[in-house]
Each structure stands twice: as C-alpha cells, then as structure tokens.
C-alpha cells in the first residue's frame, strides 16, 4: 500500500519520546509535515533533522507541525532529539506498522545485499490531514529549504 496525494493519513502514527501513542487526531486542525527517515544519528538523517530544526520556525509560521518517524526506539529518539535540540516530535515505529501504512517500508539494496528498510520520504498534509505533497527525493542537507520552496511554489 502506498499513500498518494489526496489520501487521508492513518490515525495511528507511533510512540512519542515519552512512550505515549500518538494519533493524527491529536493534531486536529493542524497541517502536518511527516518525514520518514531510516535511522537516528546517521549522517543523512542527522543532516535532515538539523535542516528541519533550522527552518522549523518558518514552517510553523506557515501553520505546519513537523513530525519525524523511524523504527528506532523511544529511548534512541529521546537521545537524538536532545543531542541536536530538535524542537519537533520524533515517533518510534518499532513494528514498522506506520512505515507500512504510508508505503515507505520497502526492499532496499546496499553493497549487493537486499533488505527491508525505510525509504526516506516526506509527506505534507492539509489541516484535514489529506496529503497535499509527497517528496521522494529528499535533499537531506536542505530538507527545510526544500519544503519552504515547495510550499511557496504551491502558494502557501
């Protein structure tokens, strides 16, 4: 299953840094930026998180709440967020159920071996939580600028 533009996002989104289940209804009336990434503390994922951190106030000013999701543990997310002063929620999806519901848990190849993993993808929703944009080619070092450009081009 793949989420497409126009689809409503699933209710269950994962566990926050305190281990509480987070649902899309917790963000009623808010437009969301939900970014899926492979792993805490890896170079690309750190660059992406820091870029989103650096542009968080501009994204919030446009009415967006940012949420990061990976299969890392709640404890790993808490350390990652603390280490890089991340101002947004990181959700843990240890069973990959949320990754699968968005269609980002896919077969990947590295060094000749195949394995299942998270394909870095960013979803943007409107205030009704319907997907308005999907970024599949995320520029990790410029993730924040990439989103602001996309929203500007869309007149937001």
How far is 75 from 47, CA to CA, in rounded Å? 20
Which one of the listed residues 45, 67, 91, 151 is annotated catalytic?
45
Per the CB < 8 A criterion, the answer to whether 123 and 9 are in contact is yes
How many Å separate Cα 3 from the centre of its chain? Answer: 14
Task: Mark whether 45 is an active-site residue.
Answer: yes
Q: Which residue has the tokens 């808490």?
A: 78
By 3-state DSSP, what share of the chain in percent is helix, strand and coil, each rounded to 5? 35, 30, 35
Question: Hey, which residues are catalytic here?
Answer: 45
């Amino acid at each position: 299953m793949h989420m497409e533009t126009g689809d409503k996002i699933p209710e269950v989104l994962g566990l926050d840094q305190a281990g509480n289940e987070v649902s899309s209804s917790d963000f009623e009336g808010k437009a969301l930026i939900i970014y899926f990434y492979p792993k805490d503390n890896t170079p690309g994922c750190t660059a992406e998180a820091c870029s989103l951190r650096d542009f968080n106030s501009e994204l919030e000013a446009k009415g967006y709440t940012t949420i990061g999701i990976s299969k890392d543990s709640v404890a790993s997310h808490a350390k990652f967020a603390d280490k890089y002063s991340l101002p947004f929620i990181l959700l843990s999806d240890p069973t990959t159920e949320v990754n699968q519901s968005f269609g980002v848990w896919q077969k990947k190849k590295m060094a000749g071996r195949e394995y299942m993993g998270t394909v870095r993808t960013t979803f943007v929703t409107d205030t009704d939580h319907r997907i308005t944009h999907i970024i599949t080619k995320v520029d990790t070092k410029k993730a924040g600028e990439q989103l602001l450009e996309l929203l500007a081009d869309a007149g937001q």
